[in-house]
Structure 1
Amino acid sequence: MDSLHLHLVSDATGETVTSVVRACMVQFEGIHANQHNWWLVRSQGQVERVIAGIEANPGIVLCTLVDVAVRGVLEEACRHMRVPFIPVLDPVMGALAGYLNAESHATPGRQYQMDAEYFARIDAMQFTLAHDDGQLMDHVEDADIVVVGVSRTSKTPTCMYLANRGMKCANYPLVPGVPLPKSLENVRTPLVVGLTKDPKSLSDIRRARLRFLNHDEESEYAQFEKVRDEVASARKLFTRHGWPVVDVTRRSIEEASATIMQLYGQHKAKQDGKA
């Protein structure tokens, strides 16, 4: 079998079940998944439309439905059609309920309720947008994390990913010959992280960027020797300030952000006197 139909059914945005499927399917090379997304399924009428879709394209059904009645209808239909039905949250929910000796609340979309954590994420996103690319560095002490690096080291997307996790981020681009602002030189509260990248890879990325913008690919901005010097100079700066460095050459945004989150946890523990 080199292809299959996957039906992802959620009573909310489908983010959880999509992440689970993505993490699993990358382990199967050469398999093409025809993915059918069924989001915000919370009523009898909605689940019946899902069942009709499964009948038209039989395949594995993965769901994150918490409403017992709605899920029961779908599960019975899958049993009748003889297609696999996988409730991906059940093992975790069962283990938690057993360990806590408590019942869960079967409330669809509860993880997306507008609680304090939700508004903290919105604040973090707004802060990060306002402090992108060296803006408003006079207020850098209000950040949780400051990301520093030369051009095209994924500073902005990394900060946006962290902001979506509730971290107030600022980022500052290192430009040859331009000194750091005093506010960043003397920063005390935030964790400052330096991003670096292999010079050859960085040079190629910059050339592609110039090509996309119809600019001269041979400008100093993309020349390997100049890029190598920039990266070396940035590393010396990070060392001088004692800032941890994350090499993003072979890391995805998610992986780099996970490393930064770990560093932030250590930074906070140290500030709080716990490490």
Structure 2
Amino acid sequence: MQRMGERIHIHLISDSTGETLESVARASLARFEGVEAVKHFWPLVRTTGHLDRVLEDVSEHPGLVVFTLATGAVRDRLEQRCAALGLPAVSAIDPVVAGLSIILGKAATARPGRQHRLDEAYFARVEAINYTMAHDDGQGEENWNEADILLVGVSRTSKTPTSIYLANRGFKTANYPLVPGRKPPPELFTATRPFIVGLTTTPQRLVEVRRNRLLSLAQAPETDYVDSERIKKEVLEARRLFADRGWPVIDVTRKAIEETAAAVIRLMNRAEEE
């Protein structure tokens, strides 16, 4: 048995995009403190040949296997191999599907990835993702009025990952980094369509995040970029800008990306209701 504080491997195996598994794993791991999880992500597994390649990694890195597999042969093979390896294999949605089957009085289909059918919502989400990737980090300011959401904040306040998460929810999202000594483009103040939100965090947290970022890039960890006094000034100036423009502000300190995105959506919905 794995003990708290140990590293564990979790294999997420899906016959579709795997978004469901990612959400389930994240929510479940949040219930356990002190656990370092190494996630192995395997989307679009629809043949036994593909599964066999996945199982090689499962055998080399034994751990929990969580799956959403609709195809009988692939699922059967996975369950048999996990049983032989002595590893738990858990279906992420079987209990819900079984409950629906009882209520509806009919069996579920075995069509993989049916929830991601190419409908209008799917294409809208693809468009949102394409827009967001093209308008990351201050790019394409001339098109900001096409955005649903525009995130503004100093460096390392989770603007990009939050934008991508929102795009996956179907929102065209642009973001702009506030840089000391660089004047924002006029489009930031003239855009009328996007819902603009300021992201902030504590100076102490910003020092930690930026220093870790520099270390991950093998760069010197002591520069103006992580100077505490400079960062305090950056955060203060950003907050002053948000207040002057009347933009709502979200403090992302210790917040997960999903929490920040949910807060943005709540603020936007509230503003539309007013």
TM-score when scaled to structure 2?
0.74
Q: 1:160 to 1:47 in 2, by over 3 A?
A: closer
Letter in 2 for 1:122: V
Q: CA deviation at 1:256?
A: 1.6
| Counterpart Cα distance in 2 of 1:34 and 1:60 | 10
Q: Which residue of 2 aligns with 1:232?
A: 236
Does the 8 Å contact 1:2/1:32 carry over to 2? no
The equivalent of 1:2 in structure 2 is 2
Matched, 1:141 2:142: no
Q: Which amino acid aligns with 1:249?
A: T
What's the RMSD between the two structures over aligned residues? 4.0
The structure 2 residue matched to 1:119, chosen from 116, 120, 123, is 123
Once residues 63 and 179 of structure 2 are traced to their aligned partners in structure 1, the CA distance between those partners, rounded to angstroms, is: 53
Residue 262 (structure 1) aligned with residue 266 (structure 2): yes
1:98 Cα shift?
5.0
Match of 2:21 in 1: 17
Q: Between 82-91 and 150-159, report the one with greater CA deviation.
A: 82-91
The runs of 5 or more residues in structure 1 that have no matched partner are none
Does residue 198 in structure 1 map to residue 198 in structure 2?
no
Distance 1:202 1:55 in 2: 40
Amino acid at match of 1:150: V
> What's 2:222 paired with?
217
Give the counterpart of 1:132 among 123, 129, 136: 136
Structure 1 residue 244: Cα displacement: 1.3
Instruction: Give the counterpart letter for 1:2 in structure 2.
Output: Q
**127-136 vs 43-52, which deviates more?**
43-52
CA distance in 1, matches of 2:200, 2:37: 35
Moved more, 121-130 or 88-97: 88-97
Q: What is the CA deviation profile of residues 56-115 of structure 1, one whole-angstrom value per residue up to 9, with x for unaligned ones?
A: 999865432224566567668888999766432122223444556665432012234443
Query: How far apart, CA to CA, are the structure 2 residues paired with 1:133 and 1:94?
Result: 45
For the residues of structure 1 that align with 2:269 and 2:87, how far apart are their CA atoms? 44
Q: Which has the larger radius of gyration?
A: 1
Q: State the shift of 1:25 in Å.
A: 4.0
Name the residue aligned to 1:161. 165
- Closer, same or farther in 2 for the Cα pair 1:214/1:69, shift >3 Å? closer
Amino acid at match of 1:165: R
In 2 relative to 1, CA 80–140 (structure 1 residues): closer, same or farther, beyond 3 Å?
closer
TM-fit CA distance, 1:159: 1.3
Residue 119 of structure 2 aligns to which amino acid in structure 1? D
User: Is residue 6–residue 35 contact of structure 1 (8 Å, CA) maintained in 2?
Assistant: yes
User: Is contact 1:2-1:30 (8 Å) kept?
Assistant: no
Q: 1:152 aligns to what?
A: 156
Q: 3-state SS of the aligned residue for 1:194?
A: strand
Return the TM-score normalized by structure 1: 0.74
Quickly say closer, same or farther: Cα 1:172–1:53, change in 2 above 3 A. closer
Evaluate the alpha carbon distance shift between residue 107 and residue 198 of structure 1 in structure 2; reply closer, same or farther with a 3 A threshold: same
Q: Which amino acid aligns with 1:137?
A: E
Deviation at 1:51, TM superposition (A): 9.1
Identical-residue share of aligned pairs (%): 46
**What is the CA-CA distance between 1:191 and the residue it aligns to?**
1.0
SS at match of 1:148: strand
Shift of 1:209: 4.8
Deviations 1:27-54 (A, max 9, x none): 3456787978776554577778989999
- Count of paired positions: 269
